[in-house]
Chains A and B, each alone.
Chain A
């Protein structure tokens, strides 16, 4: 089984097609959409995690590329360097899913990776550059 995180860019003409439906129906892949910004007739972007056999994964990616999508493997991990972090909390202000929060009592930073959707808002918000992506 393969489990990969993909960063898809949709060309404007493909933004209304049910592409993810085909990944499930025709390639037996299990998609988990982490974030998506799709508007009619505009370039769209989607980050999703897909699970399936290696063969189905390869065929599914080939299908996406045939449809004119740009497919990039997205970050596989996000790392907080405690030695660089000063607990300023600025990342918590941009973390919409609530993965980065401050302890109500100590006001130190807590990172719940299960809630992270890899939007990367914290990566550019952190003034210490303490949050990095691993590919």
Chain B
């Protein structure tokens, strides 16, 4: 029995909607069958909380008197972009402090703002007839900013790599510290709770979808950068490598430091854990079948990060159930595993989003445009060439 978006939203508005997290739905489907579960449940909530480097905030400071057209600016000594209008900026999470290096960066500024702390704004300008001020040194808080919103170009990666190191030296990567000679394996996905793994062909998720971003209600703004629906998929149609991504937007003032955490990866740089939650309407048995998948059904590909090239060699695959068990086997060797994406936080996000929907505070939004599907142009590499070669 198929349901429509409108029927589901009417049930949410009347307080009658049945909402399960993806983990709860998998248990129900195992007990009662996929069709029975699909009939009973209206919405399934998902969540993820992992480092997402392509994140940042758009800020508007308001005008000083006399006004300044900020062309070079820092927030707590972290440079922010000066190539927008006079008092607009974009602060990316990976930008690093001029004073403290990678121990403090754009992500830490955003976390400080979320925690209500004042942040020092310093800016310079050549000065113009309409913006005569050439320097400013002041303090700002999140509350006082006119606009402050996340615009994250790439969040919620659909599946990710398992990283290992076959070399003789320790490697410091964005997937953590990789010990030599297959000393460990790190992985980064919420697995069966992960948003895009629950709707692997992006049927219900696209531009305009209403989602949870760092504790605030937000939207899918566009396909994420490097969105790549192609690549290998398993028998359920679920990608076994990094695939789809989302660009998301949400009000920073409604976000919470519970669901946004600055991060420093030694030997790599600054990033941020971003909490993303996506509600998926149980429209029919087909979508219910992928919502019912568990960590045992979903696999990730193991890559050797000691090969410092664009394409790293694969050393096989592992299921998320095996990865969660604490050891996987590679070439007959037992390798200890460690996650990077926090499952307790992902569960908290799916549960919080479930509460928003059951309370009638959060209606679903049908996408106004679907994300690029299988068959659309793929991700291209960057070739190094001279002007003459163009």
By the criterion CB–CB under 8 Å, are B340 and A89 in contact?
yes
Interface status of B90 (Cβ within 8 A of chain A): no
Interface status of B344 (Cβ within 8 A of chain A): yes
Interface status of A67 (Cβ within 8 A of chain B): no
Chain A interface size range: 20 to 34
By the criterion CB–CB under 8 Å, are B336 and A93 in contact?
yes
Interface status of B285 (Cβ within 8 A of chain A): no
Residues of A within 8 A of B177 (CB): 90, 93-94, 121, 124-125
Q: A93-B176, A107-B324, A127-B51 are contacts. A87–B337 as well, Cβ < 8 Å?
A: no
Residues of B within 8 A of A125 (CB): 176-177, 266
Which of A88, A90, A91, A121 has most chain B Cβ within 10 Å? A88
Count of B residues near A, CB < 8 Å?
Answer: 31
Interface status of A129 (Cβ within 8 A of chain B): yes
Pick the 8 closest A-B CB pairs, nearest first: A93-B338, A127-B263, A107-B343, A89-B339, A87-B344, A124-B266, A92-B338, A90-B176
Assembled-state Cα–Cα distance A127/B261 (Å): 10
By the criterion CB–CB under 8 Å, are B273 and A88 in contact?
yes
Min CB distance, A108 to chain B, in Å?
5
Residues of B within 8 A of A88 (CB): 50, 273, 339-342
Assembled-state Cα–Cα distance A127/B177 (Å): 11
Which of A92, A93, A125 has most chain B Cβ within 10 Å? A93
By the criterion CB–CB under 8 Å, are A86 and B273 in contact?
yes
Q: A107-B324, A124-B177 are contacts. A86–B186 as well, Cβ < 8 Å?
A: no
Residues of A within 8 A of B186 (CB): 90, 93
From A91, A108, A127, give the contact of B265 (CB < 8 A): A127
The digit string for B324-344, where 1 denotes a CB below 8 A from any CB of A, is: 111000000000111111111
By the criterion CB–CB under 8 Å, are B49 and A86 in contact?
yes
From B103, B184, B344, give the contact of A107 (CB < 8 A): B344
